[in-house]
Amino acid sequence: MSESLEDLTQAVLNFRDERNWAQFHGLRHLMVSLNLEASEVLELAQWKSDAEIEALAGNQELADECADVLAYLLLLANRAGIDLTAALHAKLAKNAQKYPVGKSYGRRDKYSALGEC
Ligand SMILES: [Mg+2]
């Protein structure tokens, strides 16, 4: 995990451009594809027990689907002009406001329910 997001983005852009696929990568198509690939991650859990799902750790098929999700996320962010690093830090700051440690520690409640504790 030593490559930067920029390096990884360039790798998927190169893969795309070598195949002349940018013409198919409008924002809507990338949003759809990202969610379809995320669904393929979920599909790996279909009809499986909790133990079978936990056994997917280290599974190559799960790694492949995670890579597909990341590839489309990088393409989507590139197409939309999103700096994923900045976006993640901004979202973590927002979530820290919504889920203060003092109210959310060890709890799985949605932020809207945390005021009740
Ligand atoms: Mg896939």
pLDDT tens digits for range 18-29: 999 999 999 999
Q: If we measure between CA atoms, which residue out of 101, 102, 99 comes closest to residue 113?
A: 99
pLDDT in tens, 40-92: 999 999 999 999 999 999 999 999 999 999 999 999 999 999 999 999 999 99
Distance 40 CA to ligand 1 centre (A): 6
Report the separation in Å between the CA atom of 22 and the middle of ligand 1, taken as the mean of its atom positions. 19
Q: Cα(66) to centroid of ligand 1, in Å?
A: 8
Rounded distance from Cα 37 to ligand 1 centre (Å): 5
How far CA 32 is from CA of 18, 26, 38, 81, in Å, comes to 22, 10, 10, 17
Task: Map out the domains of the chain with their CATH numbers.
Answer: 1-82 (1.10.287.1080), 84-117 (no CATH)
Residue-level length of the chain = 117
In this structure, are residues 108 and 70 in contact, taking their beta carbons and an 8 Å threshold?
no
